[in-house]
DNA sequence: ATGCTTCCTGAACATACGTGTAGAGTCAAT
DNA sequence: ATTGACTCTACACGTATGTTCAGGAAGCAT
């Protein structure tokens, strides 16, 4: 793990303390004021460094979206609050049917909490969950009714399992870009791949990348 | 104390939840989006009411400066306990190798927390977790490296997936009692079942029944 | 009827805020 | 010698965000 410089640690401490004392994180300019840094970019350099070293997560174009990571709390010797450490709450979308699923809205009525360890280091805030419908990925061990944990991302690496919006349906497939089209490959010997021409392809079609699968097993049913 | 209207309470709840989940409060527009209020002023009316009634403090001209008061937490019945409710901590045994696994000891060094909802109502205290070794259950969608959540029980129903101690090895198989022997059936076409004579069968051989499977997926590897 | 609160639309405005570019100085490592 | 982290200034730009004004509809008490 990369070490922090004195200045970076000071800023990280300030962010943590402000978050606790005021209830929300500071802005870049507030940090600059406290640290006697006249230029917002001076502060930004530090924030970038903290993010790169894994002590801070940021949102793009979002004010005050500075959230220290677990590692940051450990470094600063601030004991985590009880058993809550490492848990994230994931919005649970029902069995996604037709139409653009409510990714934008994300009503929190239903949610699942999960150990962030099981997400393999992915930031829990960019993950949603949904239930699988159908057998199209059975050869990859993804069954009907399974819970999928999906990292929101508009792109994917070839061969990765993604959730994509195809013909207004959210479906789970493997992603294979080819020269002039995209192949969405089911993992089921009885099913054919779906092809989408690059010209028809919008980045919004890929909703995210599957990072985890959970299946309830009880009473012996598969 | 002035009461809150339904709508005001909804917004207050949203602010509290967002603060906890994301680490910072929402903006007026984010609230509007979630509540289906198109006008920022519509939201502002509610915020003014919440402030007037003493459930919220705000800063002037400051983004995201929405901090619920103690009274708000009381009203919502959140005793400062945050997201931990409904969580259970499950001891995680390493890849169980040979010999009686440390069920008795249950070194807690490693553990996973999981939403009890995902255990399907099984009491978390009688559950342990372990990682799968081998491909013997691949046709049931249980792969090498998967995490199994196992309910400790000495018995099982026919056909259920169990963790059993066979020849000093902990293995995952389906459980089929036959007239004078027990058949432990792998879910892999290339593998043969294991038979145990009833006379040799001790109840301690069944460690538990599999109630959940989790698989990390990342970078496209299966 | 007349007000009052709640709940909302729509639009406009000022500023708070994140981001990018173009530098520059220090210091340690190669 | 050069490269690269770290630290910072100064300035500009776009947009994210809070605030305010001008209403309107529904319900409810006086």
Question: Nearest by CB to A140, which of B67, B120, B222?
Answer: B222
pLDDT at residue A121 above 80?
no
The predicted structure's pLDDT at residue A124: 67
- Would you place residue B102 in the very low, low, confident or very high pLDDT band (cuts 50, 70, 90)? very low
Identify the helix (H) or strand (E) that includes residue B176: strand B169-177
Catalytic hit among B17, B39, B83, B173 = B173
Asked if A28 has any chain B CB less than 8 Å from its own CB, the reply is: no
pLDDT at residue B53 above 90?
no
pLDDT at residue A104 above 80?
no
Asked if B79 has any chain A CB less than 8 Å from its own CB, the reply is: no
Domains belonging to chain A, first-starting first, are 6-76 (1.10.10.10), 87-214 (2.10.109.10)
- Would you place residue B170 in the very low, low, confident or very high pLDDT band (cuts 50, 70, 90)? confident
Q: How far is the CA of A55 from the C1' of D15 (A)?
A: 27
Query: Which nucleotide is at minimal CA–C1' distance from A38?
Result: D9
Tokens 């708000």 sit at which residue? B72
Q: Which of A93, A221, A100, A87 is nearest to A150 (CA)?
A: A93
Query: Which nucleotide is at minimal CA–C1' distance from B2?
Result: C5
pLDDT at residue A107 above 60?
no
Burial of residue A123, with CB atoms counted within 10 A of its CB: 0-12 exposed, 13-18 middle, 19 or more buried: middle
Query: Which nucleotide is at minimal CA–C1' distance from A32?
Result: D8
Q: How far is the CA of B36 from the C1' of C2 (A)?
A: 32
- 8 Å CB contact of A220 and B158: yes
The predicted structure's pLDDT at residue B47: 92
Ranking A71-75, A95-99, B2-6 by mean pLDDT, the lowest is A95-99
Q: How far is the CA of B16 from the C1' of C6 (A)?
A: 22
- 8 Å CB contact of B87 and A83: yes
Q: How far is CA B189 from CA A190, B150, B186, B192, B218, in A?
A: 18, 24, 8, 8, 27
What mean pLDDT is predicted for residues A7-33? Answer: 90
Contact list in B for residue A128 (CB cut-off 8 A) is none
Residues in chain B: 222
Ranking A110-119, B70-79, B142-151 by mean pLDDT, the lowest is B70-79
Residues in chain A: 222
Tokens representing B138 are 């691949």
pLDDT at residue B82 above 60?
no
- The model carries a pTM of 0.60
- Would you place residue A110 in the very low, low, confident or very high pLDDT band (cuts 50, 70, 90)? low
What mean pLDDT is predicted for residues B108-119? Answer: 72
């Amino acid at each position: 793990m990369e070490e922090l410089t004195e200045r970076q640690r000071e800023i990280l401490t300030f962010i943590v303390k402000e978050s606790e004392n005021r209830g929300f994180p500071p802005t870049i300019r507030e940090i600059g004021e406290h640290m006697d840094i006249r230029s917002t970019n001076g502060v930004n350099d530090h924030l970038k460094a903290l993010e790169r070293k894994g002590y801070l997560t940021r949102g793009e174009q979002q004010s005050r979206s500075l959230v220290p990571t677990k590692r940051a709390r450990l470094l600063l010797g601030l004991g985590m609050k009880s058993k809550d450490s490492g848990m994230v709450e994931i919005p649970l979308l029902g069995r996604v049917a037709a139409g653009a699923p409510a990714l934008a809205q994300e009503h929190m009525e239903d949610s699942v909490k999960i150990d962030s360890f099981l997400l393999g280091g992915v930031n829990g805030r960019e993950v949603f969950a949904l239930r699988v419908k159908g057998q199209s990925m059975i050869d990859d061990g993804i069954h009907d009714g399974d819970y999928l944990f999906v990292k929101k991302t508009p792109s994917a690496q070839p061969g990765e399992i993604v959730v994509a919006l195809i013909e207004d349906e959210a479906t789970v497939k493997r992603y294979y870009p080819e020269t002039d089209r995209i192949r969405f490959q089911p993992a089921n010997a009885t099913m054919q791949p779906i092809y989408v021409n690059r010209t028809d392809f919008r980045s919004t079609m890929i909703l995210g990348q599957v990072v985890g699968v959970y299946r309830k097993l009880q009473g012996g049913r598969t």
